Structures are given as structure tokens and as C-alpha cells.
């Protein structure tokens, strides 16, 4: 029987289960018969051959836990990594919903990273760890507890993998920044000054503030390639994740500019930043503005002595302040994604280099300056922003 064969592979590996004795097909048949229709078992077949299975059993005998099932999932070792286990888990969740279950739980060895990743893809979450739960081959083993709510609205909603969540947060945050910041410029031009310079400046600061509160705990709320570069130079962010953050930020900005163009047309160059005076003047201004911004960000985001709860207010306030006094000259971009997105969509390329080089230079100088003021040493490597995009 295929279920017994696949289960015995797991027993031999000493990774999926505490069981140590192989099971016979007769034992499996007897166990399935004992479970009855109340506790489903599903199989995934390929060419008529079972390549994965999943089953649910009793969680507790007490009636108030009747809707909670404890499950197992096994894949044939020759078909792992090909989606069979995920298909088995999805099918089991659907079958359990039909039987009136509202939650599935399981215990997984921490060493079984493949199973933990599989359950994450299937929408399960880790809720804790049982330490020294039992012995396997004379050694104490811990168990990670995972659970998933099933049935009802959103019962099968599958969250993004951990590695993609910060990227999605950066994309959405940068989209909001560009949509609101450049949108204010477009609407001001469309309405003949209905927003005003003060309104444009406040919009830029406020949208950053609210998005930091919204997703700062997910991605670190960079929303700005210059900020990401500054954090990496200051050893607060891994270099290997920098290109992914930059890509997410640019995609978010482009999506906002494309949406604005579809709504308003190519009004005011879609809010693209352009120097009022010379390019050199705006370059220096953008570098200094971003220097101050990055100095503030590094303080409130990486120094435990700072009032971190007010980080969004401090950062949003800095952006709003700088936009109010410097906006008429350089546009007060301080953000290559905010400038490049409308420039690309409106095809406005006048002096756009300064909106990349100026903020990048200013961000690096800002983070290094704060390290001098703070007194960091080379050994004080701290990653104080989420790096789960790794």
C-alpha cells in the first residue's frame, strides 16, 4: 500500500515523525477504518501512482475541541519539491471544511525545514514550540507547532511566502508615496492651484508617515532606493537584498505613475521633479536634503535610545518640512524612485541624473554622519530593519 510505503520512508529518515517502527499495509488499513469518514485522508496521484498523502486525526477527545484536527502530510521522496505535498495539504483542508473542522494543527521537528516551508506556503503559521516534547532514538526533540484556520471567509487565503512579504510592503508603500506625492502635483495643476505648494509638501510628509505605521514592521518602510543604500552602507541591511528592494520600489512607483497617467493624462509631466535653477544647484540641494533625512532615519530606526514609536512622525515631518522650503527649487524629491517613475512614464529626462546621484550621495553621507555622532565601532553590526526578504 502506497501510504504505508511513503510513511515508512519518513520513519527511516528520522525527520518527520517520532515513530521508529515501519508500518505494514494492514496496519494502515486498520487505522483508516478506525478513523471513519469524520477524519479524512487524501492522496495525490501521478499516472495512477500515489505520490503524496495527508490525513487528519483527533486533536483532543473533549467535545469543545471537536472542530480541531491534528494532521500529517507525507510526500514520496522521489517527488518532493514538485508541489505534491502542497496539493495534499490543500485537498485535506478542503475535505476537513466539509467535515466541519475550523482549525488544523501539527507538530514539526525544527530540523524539518522542508515541512515548515511547505506549511508556510499552505497558509499555516507558527504559534510556538514544545521543548523536549519526546525522545527519538534516545535524544530529546523539540516540536514546532503550526496551525491554520479553515472554513469561513478567507479560510483558504494563502499568505505570501516570508521572503516576498517585505518586497510587497515596499512595492505598496512606494506606490502610495508616488501616487499621493506626484498626484498632489497633478491635481494642483489640473485644478489651477487647488492643492497649493503647502498642500503638496504636507501630502508628501503625511503619506510617508502613515505608510511607515502601516508596514514599517514588515519591511522597514524604506520606500526609497537611497534609504536602502544608506542602510546597507551603514551595516543595518544586507547587501544581497538591496537589488530586490530597489526593484520593488521602482515597480511600485511605476505602477502609481501609470495609473495617474491613465486618470489625468500627461499633466504636469506626471509630477516629475525638475530643477528650477541650475542642475548643480538642485544636485547640491537634493544631496543635503537627503543627508538630513537619512540622518534622522538612522537615528529613529537604528538607535535604541531614540523614541522609536515616534519614528514615523519624525521621518514624515522631515520630508514635509524639506518639501515646504525646497520644493520650489528642486522638487525636494530625496528619492530616486519618486523621480524616476514619473520621468519614465512621462518621458521627461531633463537633468534626471541629479535625482539619482544627489539622494544616493546624501543618504550615504547621512548614515555615516550619524554613526560618527552616535559613536559606532566597526564591530557594532546591527540589522535593525526587517531582512526577511533574504
Q: What is the pLDDT along the chain (390 residues), one digit of tens a residue?
A: 789 999 999 999 998 999 999 999 999 899 888 888 889 999 998 777 899 999 999 999 898 999 999 999 999 988 887 788 988 999 999 999 999 999 999 999 999 999 999 999 889 999 999 999 999 999 999 999 999 999 765 444 556 677 788 999 999 999 999 999 999 999 999 999 999 999 999 999 999 999 998 888 788 899 999 999 999 999 888 899 999 999 999 999 999 999 999 999 999 999 999 999 899 999 999 999 999 999 999 988 877 666 556 888 999 999 999 999 998 999 999 999 999 999 999 999 889 999 999 999 999 999 999 999 987 544 344 444 443 344
Beta strands 68-75 and 103-108: pairing type? parallel
Instruction: Note whether 270 and 342 are within 8 A (CB).
Output: yes
DSSP letter for 275, please: -
Q: What is the largest CA-CA distance in the chain?
A: 85
Please state, as a whole number, how many other Cβ atoms lie within 10 Å of the Cβ of residue 359. 32
Please state, as a whole number, how many other Cβ atoms lie within 10 Å of the Cβ of residue 354. 24
Instruction: Note whether 323 and 201 are within 8 A (CB).
Output: yes
> For 2-149, which CATH class?
alpha beta
Q: Quick check: helix, strand or coil at residue 111?
A: coil
The CATH superfamily label for domain 165-374 reads Glycerol uptake facilitator protein. (1.20.1080.10)
Give the span between the Cα atoms of 319 and 332, in whole angstroms. Answer: 8
Grid cell digits, residue 241: 537584498
CATH 3.40.630.30 domain residues, the chain: 2-149
Instruction: Note whether 356 and 336 are within 8 A (CB).
Output: yes
Give the span between the Cα atoms of 301 and 72, in whole angstroms. Answer: 42
CATH 1.20.1080.10 domain residues, the chain: 165-374
Phi and psi at 105, nearest 5°, equal -130, 160
Phi and psi at 289, nearest 5°, equal -60, -45
Grid cell digits, residue 166: 517585505
Give the span between the Cα atoms of 355 and 350, in whole angstroms. Answer: 10
Give the sign of the dihedral formed by CA 272, CA 277, CA 279, CA 284.
Answer: negative
Beta-carbon contacts of 209 under 8 Å, excluding residues fewer than 6 positions away, are 312, 313, 315, 316, 317
Give the span between the Cα atoms of 360 and 229, in whole angstroms. Answer: 7
Give the span between the Cα atoms of 338 and 180, in whole angstroms. Answer: 11
pTM equals: 0.61
Amino acid at each position: 500500500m502506497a501510504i504505508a510505503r511513503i510513511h515508512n520512508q519518513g520513519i527511516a529518515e528520522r525527520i518527520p515523525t517520532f515513530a521508529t517502527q515501519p508500518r505494514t499495509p494492514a496496519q494502515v488499513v486498520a487505522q483508516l477504518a478506525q478513523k471513519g469518514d469524520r477524519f479524512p485522508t487524501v492522496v495525490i496521484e501521478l499516472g495512477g501512482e500515489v505520490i503524496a498523502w495527508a490525513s487528519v486525526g483527533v486533536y483532543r477527545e473533549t467535545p469543545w475541541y471537536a472542530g480541531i484536527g491534528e494532521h500529517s502530510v507525507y510526500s514520496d521522496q522521489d517527488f518532493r519539491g514538485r508541489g505534491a505535498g502542497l496539493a495534499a495539504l490543500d485537498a485535506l483542508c478542503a475535505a476537513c471544511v466539509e467535515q466541519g473542522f475550523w482549525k488544523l494543527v501539527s507538530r514539526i521537528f525544527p530540523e524539518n525545514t522542508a515541512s515548515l516551508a511547505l506549511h508556510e506556503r499552505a497558509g499555516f503559521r507558527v504559534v510556538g514550540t514544545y521543548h523536549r516534547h519526546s525522545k527519538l532514538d534516545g535524544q530529546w526533540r523539540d516540536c514546532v507547532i503550526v496551525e491554520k484556520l479553515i472554513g469561513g471567509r478567507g479560510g483558504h487565503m494563502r499568505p505570501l511566502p516570508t521572503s516576498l512579504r517585505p518586497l510587497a510592503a515596499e512595492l505598496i508603500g512606494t506606490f502610495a508615496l508616488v501616487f499621493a506625492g506626484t498626484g498632489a502635483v497633478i491635481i494642483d495643476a489640473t485644478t489651477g492651484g487647488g492643492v497649493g505648494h503647502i498642500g503638496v509638501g504636507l501630502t508628501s510628509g503625511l503619506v510617508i508617515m502613515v505608510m511607515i505605521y502601516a508596514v514599517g514592521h514588515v519591511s522597514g518602510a524604506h520606500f526609497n532606493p537611497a534609504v536602502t543604500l544608506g542602510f546597507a552602507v551603514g551595516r543595518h541591511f544586507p547587501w544581497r537584498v538591496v537589488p530586490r528592494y530597489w526593484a520593488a520600489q521602482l515597480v511600485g512607483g511605476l505602477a502609481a505613475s501609470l495609473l495617474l497617467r491613465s486618470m489625468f493624462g500627461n499633466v504636469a509631466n506626471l509630477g516629475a521633479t525638475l530643477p528650477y535653477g541650475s542642475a548643480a544647484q538642485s544636485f547640491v540641494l537634493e544631496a543635503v536634503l537627503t543627508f538630513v533625512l537619512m540622518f534622522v532615519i538612522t537615528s529613529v530606526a537604528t538607535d535604541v535610545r531614540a523614541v522609536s514609536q515616534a519614528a514615523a512622525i519624525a521621518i514624515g515631518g522631515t520630508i514635509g518640512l524639506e518639501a515646504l522650503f525646497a520644493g520650489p527649487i528642486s522638487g525636494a524629491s530625496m528619492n530616486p524612485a519618486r523621480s524616476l517613475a514619473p520621468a519614465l512614464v512621462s518621458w521627461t529626462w531633463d537633468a534626471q541624473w541629479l535625482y539619482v546621484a544627489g539622494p544616493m550621495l546624501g543618504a550615504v553621507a547621512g548614515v555615516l554622519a550619524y554613526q560618527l555622532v552616535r559613536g559606532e565601532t566597526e564591530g557594532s553590526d546591527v540589522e535593525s530593519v526587517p531582512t526577511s526578504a533574504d
